[in-house]
């Protein structure tokens, strides 16, 4: 059983790196933002509640977000473990998590703000599987019109606009240190330089966490 939390600035590759870990190690990938987006697409009550918040790049209220994470983990479908992506995003969420769960490590992906901005404004995501494409360079997705991993349609995220991104980057800067500090009291926090390519970052994560090297493709 392996349990990880992955945190990092927008565009640092949290989703891509999580998917690679999940695929090879049989982990359940829990992407909180993707759960919210699914609710928006499915027009659920929760979707209606979070839609405008997400579009503006703000954070969904802690009690709503924490309930989503708790309910997801309560499914207990993670026999080999999980990787939680995009949570916690602030001190309150970190304390909520630490009171209830143990993990093996926090994977912190570090990237300068200007590179984060550049990557996010260039990216498209697969409407089906959520894989990310950064101008045709990301793992699993080619620069064409369809997702190489599953053939799904590649679309821009509605919150990947200049305005929303500026708010998300601001919130990240404001909160990341207190999240990492809270985790350091109880868990291993490992910081990785997210500037190199996807495969290089994945190999480094595997090396430091003492995990088997990635299987390709």
Catalytic positions, written as ranges: 14, 89, 123, 157, 168
Paired sense of beta strands 105-110 and 189-193, if any: parallel
If binding is defined by CB under 6 A, does position 9 make contact with ligand AMP?
Answer: no
Residues in 115-154 at the binding interface with ligand AMP, rule: CB under 6 A: none
Q: Name the residue with tokens 């982990």.
A: 27
> At residue 2, what are phi and psi to the nearest 5 degrees?
-130, 130
Stretch that binds ligand AMP, among 54-62, 95-103, 131-139, 204-212 (CB under 6 A): 54-62
* Bridging pattern class, strands 123-126 and 2-8: unpaired
CB 153 within 8 A of CB 147: yes
Q: How far apart are CA 182 and CA 175, in angstroms?
A: 11
Looking at the Cβ atoms of 59 and 208, the one nearer to ligand AMP is 59
Element (H, E) at 6: strand 2-8
Query: How many chain residues interact with ligand AMP (CB under 6 A)?
Result: 18
Part in contact with ligand AMP (CB under 6 A); list of ranges 21-29, 88-96, 104-112, 196-204: 88-96
Nearer to ligand AMP, 20 or 54 (CB): 54
Using CB under 6 A, list all residues that contact ligand AMP. 10, 32-33, 36, 53-54, 57-60, 65, 86-89, 93, 159, 168
């Amino acid at each position: 059983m392996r349990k990880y939390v992955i945190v990092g600035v927008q565009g640092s590759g949290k989703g891509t790196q999580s998917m690679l870990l999940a695929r090879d190690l049989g982990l359940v990938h829990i992407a909180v933002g993707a759960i919210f987006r699914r609710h928006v697409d499915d027009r659920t009550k929760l979707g209606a509640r979070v839609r405008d918040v997400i579009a503006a790049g703000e954070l969904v209220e802690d009690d709503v977000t924490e309930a989503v994470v708790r309910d997801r983990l309560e499914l207990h479908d993670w026999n080999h473990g999980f990787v939680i992506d995009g949570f916690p995003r602030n001190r309150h969420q970190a304390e909520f998590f630490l009171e209830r769960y143990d993990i093996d490590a926090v994977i912190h992906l570090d990237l300068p703000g200007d590179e984060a901005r550049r990557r996010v404004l260039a990216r498209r995501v697969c409407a089906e599987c959520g894989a990310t494409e950064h101008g045709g360079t990301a793992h699993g997705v080619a620069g064409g019109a369809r997702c190489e991993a599953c053939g799904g349609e590649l679309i821009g995220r509605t919150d990947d606009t200049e305005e929303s991104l500026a708010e998300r980057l601001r919130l990240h800067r404001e909160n990341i240190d207190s999240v990492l500090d809270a985790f350091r009291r109880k868990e291993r926090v490992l910081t990785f330089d997210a500037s190199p390519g996807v495969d290089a970052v994945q190999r480094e994560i595997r090396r430091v966490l003492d995990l088997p090297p990635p299987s390709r493709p």
